[in-house]
């Protein structure tokens, strides 16, 4: 979502004359867009700011002003503290106010003209009543694969999680706005859209003709857009995996057979302490139902090890769950205390050494599963949306329907140029832990030649 937000900030700044530059030294404005989900985020921001301070000083010594902004959830959480610790920062703003960047910049420029030193930075960490989405300009640029935020914030209040406090309460964009943005993205060249939300499957936006649409209805309408080939959504909560959404996975061909469905733990006691509001068996039932709808569905998840109260037995239950489900990919983290969350005052903290040990064991199992999943593709022919340049002129990179990264080597750069932005059938030559290597399928190559003739 930070990638999406950063792109939208660039859209807001474009009418003011700002454009991307390649190096920070050349920038008139540098914005650090930050994430607060785990510890040390704030410290990392301050150390990065220390480096930028130097840059800003050098530039201003030469009489050339430079502005520094901090955006995102660290800015939201730190607020005035950030200006106290880093008084050379000009702008501090949260994830809900970046549509106001032009006026913040104007205020910061005025303040810089009037005073210097501490106290001149502009802060905007409100949760405004207006939605930023109503004020943002239309998305102008996109690659073949685009993000689209449909829902923000979260009302689930998992005990360990800071998101409900930093991103705020749940908000779903009206379906009409989402569809309009999707059509614009497709017109601008997007072939794949990933719908984003902290808890995206809780989506319940205003429907075009009154009432509300849940995510399944939105997916159905998006699938009708000509030129859009692939739809994904992330991140979901098991409790919001409703029957209509599960069925959508069987019904909507454009919905890709890959789902990121975080479970966090395989122990009912830990799930209860985490306030996840479901049991292990509920999660397993959902997975079964999804696989009934879409037998080739690949799964991904998030795991936290060492949540307060987690015993060795609880952790082993997580390993057992992983073995039972079989993941194509997953993210796993050591529990990280977030001040202000219910888990931060829970007893029975797990020692860091124990957390590290459990993380290593879990990651080793997940890595084996990911390798086995990738290995099972060797020799197969799969469609890949080529959305990035690879190494050299004749290589492109993209993703399979199951989210694996693929590097495709063409025989000539002209072939690669022609294939960029398209979904191409490729033959998988070898499988690596994090990617697949492929060449264009001969059938496709000859079809292309026939078309060229």
Q: Give me the residues that bind ligand 5AD (CB under 6 A), please.
A: 37-38, 160-161, 262, 264, 302, 304, 333, 335-336, 338
Q: How far apart are CA 84 and CA 93, in angstroms?
A: 15
CA distance to 44, 46, 92, 323, per residue, from 50 (Å): 10, 6, 16, 45
Closer to ligand 5AD at the Cβ: 344 or 425? 344
Distance of closest approach, residue 383 Cβ to ligand SF4, in angstroms:
31
197 interacts with ligand SF4 by CB under 6 A: no
Q: What is the residue whose two structure tokens read 């607020």?
A: 79
Pairing between β-strand 405-409 and β-strand 395-399 as defined by DSSP bridges: antiparallel
Q: Which does 157 bind (CB under 5 to 8 A by kind): ligand 5AD, ligand SF4, none?
A: ligand SF4
Q: Which stretch binds ligand SF4 (CB under 6 A): 27-35, 160-168, 174-182, 246-254?
A: 160-168
Task: Count residues near ligand SF4 (CB under 6 A).
Answer: 10
Closer to ligand SF4 at the Cβ: 145 or 199? 199
Q: Which does 149 bind (CB under 5 to 8 A by kind): ligand SF4, ligand 5AD, none?
A: none
Q: How far apart are CA 289 and CA 88, in angstroms?
A: 54
**394 cis-preceded (ω within 30 degrees of 0):** no
Q: Which stretch binds ligand SF4 (CB under 6 A): 106-114, 161-169, 347-355, 438-446?
A: 161-169
Whether the Cβ atoms of residue 438 and residue 428 lie closer than 8 Å to each other: yes
Q: Which does 199 bind (CB under 5 to 8 A by kind): ligand 5AD, ligand SF4, none?
A: ligand SF4
Q: Which stretch binds ligand SF4 (CB under 6 A): 100-108, 151-159, 327-335, 424-432?
A: 151-159
β-bridge partners, 332: 303
Cα-to-chain-centroid distance, residue 207? 25
286 interacts with ligand SF4 by CB under 6 A: no
Q: How far apart are CA 355 and CA 308, in angstroms?
A: 11
199 interacts with ligand SF4 by CB under 6 A: yes
Whether the Cβ atoms of residue 72 and residue 36 lie closer than 8 Å to each other: yes
Residue 301, both tokens: 């998840």
Which residues of the chain form contacts with ligand SF4 (CB under 6 A)?
154, 156-158, 161, 163-164, 198-199, 237
């Amino acid at each position: 979502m930070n990638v999406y937000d950063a792109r939208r900030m660039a859209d807001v700044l474009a009418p003011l004359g700002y454009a991307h530059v390649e190096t920070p030294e050349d920038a008139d404005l540098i914005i650090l867009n930050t994430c607060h989900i785990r510890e040390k985020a704030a410290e990392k921001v301050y150390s990065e700011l220390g480096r930028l301070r130097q840059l800003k000083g050098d530039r201003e010594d030469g009489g050339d002003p430079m502005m520094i902004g901090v955006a995102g959830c660290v800015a939201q959480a730190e607020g005035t503290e950030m200006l106290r610790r880093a008084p050379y920062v000009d702008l501090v703003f949260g994830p809900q106010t970046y549509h106001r960047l032009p006026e913040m910049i104007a205020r910061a420029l005025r303040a810089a003209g009037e005073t210097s030193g501490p106290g001149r930075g502009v802060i905007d960490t409100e949760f405004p009543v207006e939605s930023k989405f109503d004020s943002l300009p239309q998305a102008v640029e996109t690659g073949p694969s685009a993000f689209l935020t449909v829902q923000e914030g979260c009302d689930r209040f998992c005990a360990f999680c800071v998101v409900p406090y930093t991103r705020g309460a749940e908000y779903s964009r009206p379906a009409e706005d989402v569809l309009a943005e999707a059509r614009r993205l497709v017109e601008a060249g997007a072939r794949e859209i990933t719908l984003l939300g902290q808890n995206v499957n809780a989506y319940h936006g205003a429907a075009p003709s009154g009432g509300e649409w849940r995510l399944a209805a939105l997916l159905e309408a998006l699938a009708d857009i000509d030129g859009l080939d692939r739809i994904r959504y992330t991140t979901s909560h098991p409790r919001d995996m409703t029957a209509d959404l599960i069925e959508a996975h069987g019904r909507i061909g454009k919905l890709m057979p890959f789902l990121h469905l975080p479970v966090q733990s395989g122990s009912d006691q830990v799930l209860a302490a985490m306030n996840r509001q479901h049991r292990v068996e509920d999660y397993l039932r959902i997975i079964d139902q999804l696989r009934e709808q879409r037998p080739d569905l690949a799964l991904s998840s998030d795991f936290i090890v060492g949540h307060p109260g987690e015993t060795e037995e609880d952790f082993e239950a997580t390993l057992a769950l992983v073995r039972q489900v079989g993941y194509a990919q997953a993210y796993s983290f050591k529990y990280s205390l977030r001040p202000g969350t219910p888990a931060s005052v829970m007893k029975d903290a797990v020692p860091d050494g124990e957390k590290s040990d459990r993380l290593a064991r879990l990651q080793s199992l997940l890595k084996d599963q990911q390798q086995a999943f990738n290995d099972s593709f060797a020799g197969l022919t799969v469609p890949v949306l080529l959305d990035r340049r690879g190494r050299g002129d004749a290589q492109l990179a993209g993703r399979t329907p199951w989210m694996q990264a693929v590097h495709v080597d063409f025989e000539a750069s002209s072939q690669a140029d022609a294939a960029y932005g398209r979904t191409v059938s490729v033959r998988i030559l070898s499988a690596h832990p994090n990617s697949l290597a492929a060449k264009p399928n001969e059938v496709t190559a000859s079809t292309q030649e026939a078309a060229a003739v």
